[in-house]
DNA sequence: TTGTATGCGTTATCAC
DNA sequence: GTGATAACGCATACAA
């Protein structure tokens, strides 16, 4: 198959020098109109598009923004990555999404450093990290003027990064508040406690309960971050004599598992238990699921991120700081009707 | 921040020439043990890892496999991409996942060619395309010896690609067969008809109905490929006097919408309608959803793909051919109990 | 305005 | 076994 044309092929076809042809694609001015047209025509005919990686290599920095996606399975993260990419596209900013490799070595999951280096070696002009990475050290090799924005996760040890995330304390306060208003007192929380993110939410739950004078009803149950984890944890909670009347899950996935356990509980003739999740995944909105959840305002996050990455002034202003957005409660059947 | 060390830094630190240092990382032999150790020690101390893109540029081909992800929102595709990546990792094959950009121009969605070129310019040693791309022309610029594998989609006009997908005819046959065994006759199909993939499934449905002698009950309703599309289409079907007693959706997402419409239908006192989807997304397995679906054997697809990409002999053998895997029926409540 | 030379980080081809 | 040199595709400082 035909080899990809290079700028030399274009120059030759247009009858000009390589550098002249290069100028047509790099800087706007500096080339006479007729020659520029010739080059453009030749490029179009050959189907030439610049190799942006060679460009990165030479210039020290590319013209694209790198988006590092933490987990392909998490709909919240893929959604935010996609929204960010679209927001950047609207500003005319190219981006490149790549997914981190997570491998497992003797039972422990960790991020392959090479999958981070791969993106950094492409020399992005800015970097967006979507989701919490356990180790952000590799990013320290980035040049000073490359902004790093971390979406929906704390900046574990990266002093110059900007964090854009929604306020977990507020989110859990909204959930607890909503449930208390419905008459619940025994409100339990189910979720992991192995990451900054999960710890923040659990702590938000406790603060909210305290705030409502319900400290003696605080019950937390550790769970793995998937449906099965939520199911198992809820089963444990529900067999207690002082079983909760409402359960909040760390995220929607866990809450789905809780819903499963709660359904079985209700079928056994027990009083129905309210369930709420977090992240407002599209699944939560399905008619059959109808799970009350917290919307992290993904669009707002994406907009903020794209603004930070494209506007150097704003980027400089927020370097090393955290931008906190207000989450929003989305009430659905799981906390209203009996399930 | 510290700049990323290059091979020159390593060579200098080890007191050897760049070429010698390079040999340590490229070929196994050809360098004396003591110098090799010196280089390795220096590399470790500086935290050096080779820039694989510069390597690609020079060698004409990198050491990694490119995985092009069609749609970040489709759980089937992200799952297959991830499984493929893991299968490759187990064979010691690095891979790089990047997502295509889909933009919208005057109402029409299309793939940004630049997002494909970006990955091709990295010069992968093999390419995996996950999901159906409307236009595969850009891949024609790949060298002859770079295998292209297309997962879960037809090879629209790429004669040298290998396709790995499951048999849609068989999948729809399994669904229709299952429903007929349960006593259904009025089995309708809901889904789009705007892509090779969707046309294949719709045709599979018709063949299966014919095969069971139910040609006079064939009813298809076009729907957009999302929950809302399924909901709207099902609403239309259900208001008919000869409403179907079972509805098959093009994929799970559409079937979720159908489930919503069917629930409302049942609440209005009508006889419950069976629903089935396709792709066996993790959502289908949620207790509250419990949707009968077709498993495309994602693991098997990923295994096949990774074998094709890593084994040149197998790749050559299947070049230009299609590998069809057998799908599997997963029965859940949506086709059993009244919903 | 146009062409030439140099280098980004790497590997391949030579000499030595 | 080792080291200098060219080249991958591109951009830029410089000279013409």
* Model pLDDT for residues A37-76, shown as the tens digit of each residue: 889 999 999 889 899 999 999 998 999 999 999 999 899 9
What is the rounded CA–CA span in Å between residue A274 and residue A333?
9
Nearest-neighbour CA in chain B from A120: distance (Å): 10
Pairing of strands A148-151, A102-105: unpaired
> What is the residue extent of each domain of chain A?
7-50, 65-166+297-327, 168-295
Gyration radius (Cα) of chain A, Å? 25
Domain B7-50 has CATH 1.10.260.40: yes
Chain A contacts of B73, Cβ < 8 Å?
Answer: 75, 78-79, 82
Question: What is the layout of strands, in order, in the sheet containing A187-191?
Answer: A219-222, A187-191, A246-249, A274-276
Tens digits of residue pLDDT in B129-181? 999 888 888 888 888 889 999 999 888 778 899 999 999 999 999 999 999 99
The gap between the terminal CA atoms of chain B, to the nearest Å, is: 60
Nearest to B278, CA basis, from B248, B251, B259? B251
Let me know: does A262 contact A238? Beta carbons within 8 Å: yes
Taking an 8 Å cut-off on Cβ atoms, the answer to whether B73 and A78 are in contact is yes
Considering only CB atoms, which chain A residues are within 8 Å of B75? 73, 75
Residues of B in contact with A4 (CB under 8 A): 120-121, 141
> Which structure tokens are listed for B27?
């070929």
Partnered with residue B66 across adjacent β-strands are B96, B127
- Going B75 to A150 to B88 to B147, the CA torsion angle's sign is positive
**Crossing angle for the helix pair B52-59 and A113-121, nearest 10 degrees?**
60
Q: How many CA atoms lie within 13 A of A163 on its CB side?
A: 20
C-alpha atoms less than 13 angstroms from C-alpha of A322 in its C-beta half-sphere: 14
Contact assessment for residue B138 and residue B130, using Cβ atoms and an 8 Å cutoff = no
Q: Could you tell me where the beta strands, DSSP code E, fall in chain B? A: 65-69, 95-99, 102-105, 108-111, 126-130, 148-151, 162-166, 187-191, 219-222, 246-249, 274-276, 293-295, 322-325, 328-330
Q: The dihedral of CA A176, A179, A184, A186: what is its sign?
A: negative
**Which pairing describes strands A274-276 and A322-325: parallel, antiparallel, or unpaired?**
unpaired
pLDDT of amino acid B89: 92
**Checking DSSP bridges between strand A246-249 and strand A274-276, what pairing results, if any?**
parallel
CA angle in degrees (0–180, nearest 5) for A201-A190-A235 = 175
Question: pTM of the predicted model, to two decimals?
Answer: 0.93
Shortest CA to C1' contact from B121: nucleotide: D9
For chain A, the straight-line distance linking the first and the last C-alpha, in angstroms and rounded, comes to 60
CATH superfamily of A168-295: Response regulator (3.40.50.2300)
A-chain residue closest to B85, CA distance: A101
Which residue is nearest nucleotide C12, judged by alpha carbon to C1' distance? B59
Nearest nucleotide (CA of A9 to C1'): D9
Nearest Cα neighbor of A192 from A224, A226, A220 is A224
**What is the C-alpha separation between B278 and B254, in angstroms, rounded?**
9
Paired tokens of A84: 């960010």
Return d(Cα B2, Cα A144) in angstroms, integer: 9
**∠ at Cα B190 (B185, B193), nearest 5°?**
130
Contacts of B12 (CB under 8 A, 6+ apart): none
Please name the member of B98, B263, B287 whose beta carbon is closest to the beta carbon of A287. Answer: B263
Name chain B contacts of A91, Cβ cutoff 8 Å.
none
What is the distance in angstroms between the Cα of A51 and the nearest Cα belonging to chain B? 6
User: What pLDDT, on a 0 to 100 scale, did the predictor assign at position A155?
Assistant: 81
State the pLDDT at residue A15: 86
Give the closest of B49, B256, B260 to A117, CB-based.
Answer: B49
pLDDT band at B1 (very low <50, low <70, confident <90, very high): low
Flag if A72 and B263 touch (Cβ within 8 Å).
no
Q: What tens-digit pLDDT sequence spans chain A (339 residues)? A: 567 899 999 998 888 888 888 888 887 777 788 888 889 999 999 889 899 999 999 998 999 999 999 999 899 999 999 999 999 999 999 999 999 988 778 877 788 888 999 999 999 999 999 998 888 888 888 888 899 999 998 887 788 999 999 999 999 999 999 999 999 999 999 999 988 889 999 999 999 999 999 999 999 999 999 999 999 999 999 999 899 999 999 999 999 999 999 999 988 888 889 999 999 999 999 999 999 999 999 999 999 999 999 999 999 999 999 999 999 999 999 998 654
pLDDT of residue B339: 41
Q: What is the pLDDT of residues B60-114, one digit of tens each?
A: 899 999 999 999 989 999 999 999 999 999 999 999 999 998 877 887 778 888 8
Task: Look at residues B265, B65, B256, B66 and name the one whose alpha carbon lies nearest to residue A283.
Answer: B256
Q: HEC string of chain A?
A: CCCCCCHHHHHHHHCCCHHHHHHHHHCCCCCCHHHHHHHHHHHHHHCCCCCHHHHHHHHCCCCCEEEEECCCCCHHHHHHHHHHHHHHHHCCCCEEEEECCEEEECCEEEECHHHHHHHHHCCCCEEEEECCCCCCHHHHHCCCCCCEEEECCCCCCCCCCEEEEECHHHHHHHHHHHHHHCCCCCEEEEECCCCHHHHHHHHHHHHHHHHCCCHHHCEEEECCCCHHHHHHHHHHHHCCCCCCCEEEECCHHHHHHHHHHHHHHHHCCCCCCEEECCCCCHHHHCCCCCCEEEECCHHHHHHHHHHHHHCHHHHHHHCCCEEEECCEEECCHHHCCCC
Q: Reduced to 3 states, what is the DSSP secondary structure of residue B235?
A: helix
Q: How far is B172 from chain A (nearest CA, A)?
A: 24
Residue B240: exposure state from Cβ atoms within 10 A (0-12, 13-18, ≥19): exposed
Across the A/B interface, how many CB contacts are shorter than 8 Å? 152
Task: Select the CATH number that applies to the domain covering B65-166+297-327 from these four: 3.40.50.2300, 3.90.1150.10, 3.30.43.10, 3.20.20.70.
Answer: 3.40.50.2300
CA B295 to CA B252: how far, in whole Å? 11
Contact B75 A79 (CB under 8 A): no
Q: Kindly determine whether residue A97 and residue B98, on different chains, have CB atoms separated by under 8 Å.
A: yes
Burial class (CB in 10 A: 0-12, 13-18, 19+), B9: middle
């Amino acid at each position: 198959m035909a080899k990809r044309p290079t700028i030399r092929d274009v120059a030759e076809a247009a009858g000009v020098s390589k550098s002249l042809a290069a100028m047509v694609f790099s800087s706007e001015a500096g080339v006479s109109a007729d020659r520029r047209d010739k080059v453009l025509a030749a490029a179009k005919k050959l189907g030439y598009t610049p190799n942006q990686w060679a460009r990165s290599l030479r210039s020290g920095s590319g013209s694209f923004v790198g988006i590092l996606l933490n987990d392909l399975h998490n709909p919240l993260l893929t959604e935010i990555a996609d929204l960010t990419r679209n927001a950047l596209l609207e500003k005319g900013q190219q981006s490149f999404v790549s997914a981190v490799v997570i491998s497992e070595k003797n039972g422990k999951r960790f991020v392959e450093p090479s999958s981070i280096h791969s993106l950094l070696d492409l020399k992005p002009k800015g970097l967006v990290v979507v989701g919490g990475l356990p180790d952000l050290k590799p990013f320290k090799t980035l040049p000073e003027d490359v902004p790093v924005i971390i979406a929906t996760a704390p900046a574990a040890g990266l002093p110059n990064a900007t964090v854009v995330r929604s306020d977990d304390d507020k989110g859990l306060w909204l959930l607890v508040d909503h449930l208390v208003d419905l008459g619940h007192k025994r409100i339990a929380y189910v979720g992991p406690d192995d990451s900054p993110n999960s710890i923040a939410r659990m702590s938000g739950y406790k603060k909210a309960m305290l705030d409502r004078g319900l400290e003696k009803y605080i019950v937390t149950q550790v769970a793995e971050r998937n449906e099965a984890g939520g199911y198992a944890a809820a089963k444990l909670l529900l067999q207690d004599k002082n079983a909760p009347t409402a359960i909040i899950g760390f995220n929607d996935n866990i809450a789905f598992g809780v819903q499963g356990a709660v359904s079985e509980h209700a079928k056994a003739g027990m009083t129905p238990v309210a369930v709420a999740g977090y992240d407002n995944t599209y699944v939560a909105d399905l008619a059959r699921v109808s799970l009350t959840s917290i919307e992290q305002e993904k669009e707002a996050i994406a907009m903020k991120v794209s603004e930070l990455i494209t506007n150097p002034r704003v980027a400089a202003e927020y370097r090393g700081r955290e931008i906190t957005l207000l989450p929003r409660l989305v009430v659905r059947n799981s906390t209203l009707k009996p399930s």
